[in-house]
Amino acid sequence: MNSLMIKALAFSAVLMGATIFVVKYMNVDLSDPVNLITMLGAAAIAFLTFGVAAKYINQMKTDKAEGELTDDNWDGIGEYKNELPGGWAYSFLGTIIWAMWYWTVGYPVNAYSQIGEYNKEVKAYNAQFQEMHKNADADTLQAMGESIFLVQCAPCHGETADGLSGKAQDLTARMAKDQILDVIAKGSNQLGFPMGAMPAGMASGADAEAIADYIVGGMQGQAPAAYATCAACHGADGQGMNGMSPNITKYDEKIVTQVLANGKKGMIGKMPSFNNRLTPVQEKALATYLQSL
């Protein structure tokens, strides 16, 4: 036995010794079949890994490549037509067979799991929470929405929802003028409203400027003639025609729900979808809080 193999086996022994020490220190019950199988597996992996590694490292020092070369080469580097090593091939096939057994018999996908139990408990709690707060008053919703905002939204939008100096959307106002002009120029097809996508180029030049100024100004006074194009979907009041299109005057419950479900790509980056993270009551609470800013 050469020195390299001796070192590998010695390292394996040290690793197993350390593992046994940790197991004893943590008072792991080796009479439990699962724990025992785990330990045996760890031992097998340690010895096989270092033994095989030592064997092939030693073989690399002495072996020379031989066999018939393929016709193709890359920059003068050729490839031999050698058969796939039998040990590797049988190990790969055995792993596939074992995986099929593991997922169907050894630990079937419909078996008990801690993650499954946790998800079941979360689902039950969310249903209970939804029922408890389905008729919550405005003050309760606002307080709840503030808590949700500080945990889920503030890391990007800031604690005061100002967007952290342009790093994210400023939620204290519905839209800034440059954002309105960007949407008019590029359109929008990401929020999933019933009226469908907004095409690009609905207005341009002075008409686009007039529309943006009118919306940013709170839609006060006489609407510019070009706004008639917008009113066809968003309504004369800009409130989205009862959820058919986005409300462009404020963050109502519908726009908040759609953004959370679909995410949103804007001028300053991509907000991921929060779909299924919040219950309907929580989404309503978040919208209530945003409207209070």
The domain boundary, picked from 44, 61, 78, lies at 61
Please check whether residue 77 lies inside any domain of the structure: no
Contact of 100 with 93, CB cutoff 8 Å = no
H/E element, 172:
none
Q: Are residues 143 and 280 in the same domain?
A: yes
Residues 6+ apart with CB under 8 A from 182: 266, 267
Domain with 178 in it: 137-292
For the packed helices 114-133 and 280-292, what is the interaxial angle rounded to 10 degrees? 60
> By three-state DSSP, how is residue 238 classified?
coil
Residues 19-70: pLDDT tens digits? 777 777 777 677 777 777 877 887 788 778 777 777 777 777 777 777 788 8
Beta strands in the chain (DSSP E): 69-74, 77-80, 264-266, 269-271
Give the predicted TM-score (pTM) of the model: 0.59
Residues 116-172: pLDDT tens digits? 889 889 999 999 999 999 899 999 999 999 999 999 999 999 999 999 888 888 998
Tell me how many domains the chain contains: 2
Q: Are residues 156 and 286 in the same domain?
A: yes
Q: Are residues 146 and 51 in the same domain?
A: no
Give residue 5's pLDDT band: very low, low, confident or very high (50, 70, 90): low
